[in-house]
């Protein structure tokens, strides 16, 4: 079995920055919708943390973590291109696992469910922004 070495910069996996920016914006909007739904459903939006949960906080934290994670992903794929095969799923798995954390941070079930939904939304945004698209069979 032979392995193919990446010989040029053009052989490196691509990171579609435009798609990633659109996914970040979509994640922020969907998290704000989740916040609105939680607020409408009666969530107290109070947790055991120094920052309060409001629209600016949700937008900054969603975009901020996606930007930092995306920059790390882009940087690491330059050195280890195989990361593109597993990192999207690892990040999504991390978001799903951390979705249980709000239930420890808030005694209010509606608040915890709202925050857990935001974790899942952010994980899906990460997956949508980093998962490499492959053309249908025969069209490559």
Structural domain contains residue 5:
no
Successive 10-residue mean pLDDT values, the chain, 140 residues: 51 76 97 96 87 92 96 92 91 96 91 96 96 63
pLDDT at 23: 96
Residue 10 covered by a domain? no
Number of domains comprising the chain? 1
Cβ contact 106:48 at 8 Å: yes
Please check whether residue 140 lies inside any domain of the structure: no
H runs (alpha helix) in the chain: 17-40, 55-79, 83-98, 101-105, 109-130
- As to burial, measured by CB atoms within 10 angstroms (0-12 exposed, 13-18 middle, 19+ buried), residue 130 is buried
Q: Is residue 114 part of a domain?
A: yes
Q: Within a domain: residue 36? A: yes
pTM score, whole prediction: 0.84
- Judge whether 6 lies within some domain: no
What local confidence, expressed as pLDDT, does residue 2 receive?
55
Dihedral sign (CA 29, 97, 109, 68) = negative
* Boundaries of domain holding 92: 15-130
Please tell me the predicted confidence (pLDDT) of residue 7: 45
């Amino acid at each position: 079995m032979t392995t193919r070495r990446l010989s040029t910069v053009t052989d490196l996996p691509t990171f579609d920055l435009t798609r990633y920016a659109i996914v970040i914006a979509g994640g922020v909007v969907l998290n704000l919708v989740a916040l609105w739904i939680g607020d409408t459903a009666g969530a107290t939006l109070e947790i055991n943390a120094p920052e309060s949960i409001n629209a600016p906080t949700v937008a900054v934290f969603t975009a901020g973590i996606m930007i930092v994670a995306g920059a790390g992903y882009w940087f690491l794929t330059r050195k280890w291109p195989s990361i593109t095969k597993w990192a999207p799923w690892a990040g999504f798995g991390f978001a799903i696992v951390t979705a249980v954390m709000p239930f420890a941070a808030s005694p209010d079930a509606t608040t915890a469910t709202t925050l857990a939904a935001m974790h899942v939304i952010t994980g899906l945004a990460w997956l949508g922004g980093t998962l490499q698209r492959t053309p249908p069979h025969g069209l490559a």
